[in-house]
Amino acid sequence: MRINKKHWFLLFGLIVLVLSSAVGCGQPGFTKYTNELGGYSISHPLNWESEVTDDGNIFIATSPSRSASVRVDVISPMTAQEAAQRWGMAVGSGSLDFALLENKPMEGSWDWYISYDYEAEGGRFHGEAYFKSAADHVYKLDTAGDMAGYDSYPFPTIISSFKLK
């Protein structure tokens, strides 16, 4: 049986179409959340639970073990540095054992960054928060996870998926 060039071309086109639609879905095993009102999107693992406040200003995705989470806040306009200072104070006041590790400006996608360790009911945790100033809002993306397993969570993938509309 001989296949002519036209059939090869059609087969190649079909393969390209299937592959491009699979790549367009994003990271395998992840789902995308889009907040039209807040003007952003973010992806998180399919098996993580997510919830959004009624006003849409806070999005939280939590791991099945409940020992890791990602939180996005849409905040009133201010500088990213001021938002970082306020977040650091809020986390610090809620923990008896809080240590601010880094508090610095960033270049690239994010304007400001803080990292911290704290004690909570479930043990020692590590957190990192990224801040981005826009015309109408400041966006805070905060990752938190048990200290022993922090590096095993897909935080870099989640952080890099955050996009403004």
Question: Each residue of 109-157: pLDDT tens digit?
Answer: 999 999 999 988 878 999 999 999 998 999 999 999 999 999 999 999 9
Looking at the domain assignment, is residue 1 inside a domain? Answer: no
- Count structural domains, the chain: 1
Write down the pLDDT at residue 94. Answer: 72
CA dihedral defined by 142, 115, 69, 41, rounded to 10 degrees?
30
Write down the pLDDT at residue 35. Answer: 96
Looking at the domain assignment, is residue 9 inside a domain? Answer: no
* Domain ranges, residue 94: 28-164
Looking at the domain assignment, is residue 2 inside a domain? Answer: no
**How far is 86 from 82, CA to CA, in rounded Å?**
6
CATH at residue 83: 3.40.1000.10
Looking at the domain assignment, is residue 141 inside a domain? Answer: yes
Write down the pLDDT at residue 82. Answer: 94
Q: C-alpha angle with apex 52: 143 to 83, nearest 5 degrees?
A: 50
Query: What are the pLDDT digits (tens) for 5-25?
Result: 554 444 444 343 333 333 344
